[in-house]
Amino acid sequence: MFAWVTFAALIITVGLQVLARDLLHAPMIWTGDVAQLLFTWLIFLGAAAGLRVGAHYTVDLLPMHRRFVKVATDWTGFLSGVLVAALLLRFGWELAAIRSTAVIQSLGISRFWMFLSIPVSGP
């Protein structure tokens, strides 16, 4: 539900941006920053959700009909996913903390909220 609401808000924000810029000739500065914030959350949470349900693309280069190859690739994928999640959690939190002192000028909020999507998507 969160993803649908966020995606709808992204579409509305970008639509407002185009309408204001092209038809009204009065650009809204804040729409670009809101769109970037929403897009960042959608990308990281969407990637995490895709990994969780196994919806990412795969290319079979190995003979997957052999049990040993299937088990080895499954474990390699699982361990790689755990490693990436741990890295996102550890270094994403560090990046969010570092960027917390910066401000998104048009919104008046900390950049922490944009970078928080990285460690939240890790686990």
Cα 28 to Cα 2: distance, rounded to the nearest angstrom: 25
Across all residues in the chain, what is the average pLDDT?
A: 89
**pLDDT > 70 fraction of the chain, expressed in percent and rounded:** 100
Per-residue HEC secondary structure of 27-95 comes to: CCHHHHHHHHHHHHHHHHHHHHHHHHHCCCCCCCCCCCCCHHHHHHHHHHHHHHHHHHHHHHHHHHHHH
- What pLDDT, on a 0 to 100 scale, did the predictor assign at position 41? 92
Our CA angle for 8, 85, 48, nearest 5°, is 25
- What pLDDT, on a 0 to 100 scale, did the predictor assign at position 113? 93
pLDDT tens string 41-97: 999 888 888 888 877 777 778 888 889 888 998 898 889 888 988 999 999 999 999
Q: What is the C-alpha end-to-end distance of the chain, expressed in Å?
A: 19
Q: Is the pTM of this model over 0.75?
A: yes
Whether the predicted pLDDT of 16 surpasses 90: yes
- What pLDDT, on a 0 to 100 scale, did the predictor assign at position 99? 92
Cα 21 to Cα 31: distance, rounded to the nearest angstrom: 11
